[in-house]
Amino acid sequence: MEQVNIAEFRRQHKKTSNHIPVDNQHYRWSKLKELFTKDLTFGGSHLNDQKKDHFFFELSTLLQSGIDLKNSLDLVTLESLKDKHLGIYKEIKEKVINGESLARAVKGTGKFSDYDFFSIEIGEETGNLAEVLKDLAVYYKRKVEQRRKIVAALTYPAIVLCTSAAAVFFMLRFVVPMFSDVFKRFGGKLPWMTDMVIRSSKLMGALFLPGVLVLGLLISFLYANRNKHRFRDLSSRLVLKIPLIGELVTKIYLARFCNTMRLLISTKIPLLRAIAMSRHTIGFYPVEQSLKKVELEIMAGKSLHLSLQEFSIYPPKMIQLVKVGEEINKLDYFFENIADQYVKEVEHQTSTVSKLIEPLIIIFLGLVVGFILISMYLPMFEMGNSF
């Protein structure tokens, strides 16, 4: 009976977390969107956010229903027999059976973050483990849903853009040279449009292999330096200066920061520790560096909102809401509202940009392809007129 219950919980949770509305206009792309919006796991056995969401949700549900921790872990393990991460769940269960706390067992696997460890540890110390696990599940569920909605909104334009680029490349690389050989046989002066397209085709043919080599070296360089402070600082500055993209990236990471702070503060973690843990989980250099200085200023007696106010990445509206939260001692409530607001704004902006980009890409593709076709057939029309 218990096994049936946890299976039902899993199905209900998947139903709520995996539902993404798809525009009827692009229904044919729904399967491709589903593929692109799945959470990918790199590095083999590492738990991604979706797996953490399911694990914490199932465990919290079982604990809230009155089942003890050991039997709850037994049920979670039993329901994950076909999961490739089964070894992680078994390791956690064995360590708990041997007397370790759940927090220590989770940390010992090396597959969870310090954020997860400290949250669970606070939950065990305060006797609110089930509530903390539920909050962790909600946190990761929101994180997964936000990523999925953003990727789903940008998938169709990305596919159209790649298809357009491939079509133009194919025409310039293979179709135009065939026409060029025909025109050489007839001789005579070519129209300026035709001459320009043929020159572009030859240039692309000459630069194709060097371009691929340079692109490969550039990707290798970016990958090798991705964790260096100077590179992260420079790349983040460049991203923030890009119109619209910079604003979207800022809101995404601010929403992540606010969600993290909400969860940590709601579990009664001290403010300084919450900021330190948030800094390690954000993954965005400007926010990380600002939080380092915020920690020092709070230790010196400064309030949180005044510390955040010194950095331009935090909007004035957010600062004011944090100030009110500090004054009435409800920071977790205000952080939750700020995070929800940013998430909604990001979803609206990405959806708007997606709908705007699609027709622009199609129009641009039509103009480019039309220009190439006209330039190729124009000499034939002129030769026909001469006859």
What is d(CA 385, CA 383) in angstroms, rounded to the nearest whole number? 5
Give the helix/strand (H/E) hosting 309: none
CB-based contact 311:257 (threshold 8 Å): no
Give the CA distances from residue 298 to residues 38, 125, 269, 308, 310, in Å, rounded to whole numbers and listed in that order.
40, 25, 15, 10, 13
Within 169-279, strands assigned E span none
Please report, in tens digits, the pLDDT of each residue of the chain (387 residues total): 344 444 454 454 444 444 434 344 443 344 434 433 344 333 344 578 888 888 889 888 988 888 888 888 888 888 776 667 778 888 888 888 888 888 888 888 888 887 788 778 878 877 888 888 888 888 888 888 878 877 877 787 788 888 878 888 888 888 888 877 777 776 667 778 888 888 888 888 788 888 889 989 999 988 888 888 888 889 889 988 888 888 888 998 898 899 888 888 887 778 888 888 888 778 788 999 999 999 999 998 889 999 999 998 999 999 999 999 999 988 989 998 998 899 888 888 888 887 888 788 888 888 888 888 888 888 777 665 554
Give the CA distances from residue 224 to residues 228, 229, 231, 257, in Å, rounded to whole numbers and listed in that order.
9, 12, 10, 27
Helix (H, G, I), strand (E, B) or coil at 82: coil
DSSP string, 93-117: HHHHHTT--HHHHHHHHT-S-HHHH
The one-letter amino acid at 219: I
pTM, to two decimals: 0.68
Q: How far is CA 38 from the centre of its chain?
A: 11
CB-based contact 50:42 (threshold 8 Å): no
Phi-psi map region of 21: left, alpha, beta (phi>0 left; psi -120 to 50 alpha)? beta
